[in-house]
Amino acid sequence: MKLYIGNQKYSSWSLRPWIAMKVKGVAFEQVLCRFDDHPERIDFKTFSPTGKVPMLDNGGVKVWESLAILEYLAELCPDKGFWPGNIDQRAHARAISTEMLGGFMPLRSECPMNMARKHGAIEVSDGVRGDVARIEQIWSECLAASGGPFLFGEFSNADAMYAPVVNRMEIYLLSDHPAVAAYSTAMKALPAWQEWQAAGRAEPWIYPEDEA
Ligand SMILES: N[C@@H](CCC(=O)N[C@@H](CS)C(=O)NCC(=O)O)C(=O)O
């Protein structure tokens, strides 16, 4: 199984299936595809119909779109708990995952994920403040209901979808909500998180458009 990903410093969509596969112990080969115009750059259109990463290739079965990849993995490995086992929790997990996929545009555009950025506040819009408040609500409700340490207890696809937000909250000092602190501590303790972050920090390539 091959997972095509973008730069680990910046590619928040790539992080989602990558961290889920690592945490759940699904073996895969990763293919790093740089965003810039370097001569070694692989043209994303040669492997991905949308020209975007992430893209999973399982013996010729191609799945693109981060949430579709996570759904595929859940079906491929039904015993690994990619989604919560309880139907009510599963519905909730899918709802907040879809909310992440299609929403939070101000946060996503003004506060890009950046694994190597020094921590420091930036000026943000009311839209970002609204997104942060909604995410604080989602995380605090889920953690209160499940008891943590992840949104539905054990790590699930919902956590994969929100993983990049942990970085954004931290580097731009966006929240001092206790649920954000608790959730971030759990996420950052994962060996998979640490592996991704170390790889992102080791990348020498800087893209000004992703440096808020
Ligand atoms: N909705 C897509 C978004 C994918 C996406 O925007 N990927 C970015 C990297 S994080 C990308 O491939 N950008 C390259 C480009 O737009 O040329 C998903 O969930 O996978």
CATH number of the domain bearing residue 163: 1.20.1050.10
pLDDT tens string 136-181: 999 999 999 999 999 999 999 999 999 999 999 999 999 999 999 9
The domain in which residue 182 lies consists of 87-194
pLDDT tens string 87-131: 999 999 999 999 999 999 999 999 999 999 999 999 999 999 999
Q: Is 46 found in the same domain as 10?
A: yes
The residues lining ligand 1, judged by C-beta closer than 6 Å to any ligand atom, are 6, 11-14, 51-54, 65-66, 101
Q: Is 146 found in the same domain as 98?
A: yes
Q: Is 111 found in the same domain as 28?
A: no
Assigned domain for 212 exists: no
Q: Is 164 found in the same domain as 136?
A: yes
Predicted model pTM: 0.97
**Residue 64: in which H helix or E strand, if any?**
strand 61-64
Assigned domain for 144 exists: yes
Q: Whose CA is nearest to atom 11 of ligand 1?
A: 52
Q: Which residues pair with 63 in a beta bridge?
A: 56
153 C-alpha to ligand 1 centroid (Å) = 29
Sheet holding 55-58, edge to edge: 29-32, 2-5, 55-58, 61-64
Q: Whose CA is nearest to atom 6 of ligand 1?
A: 52
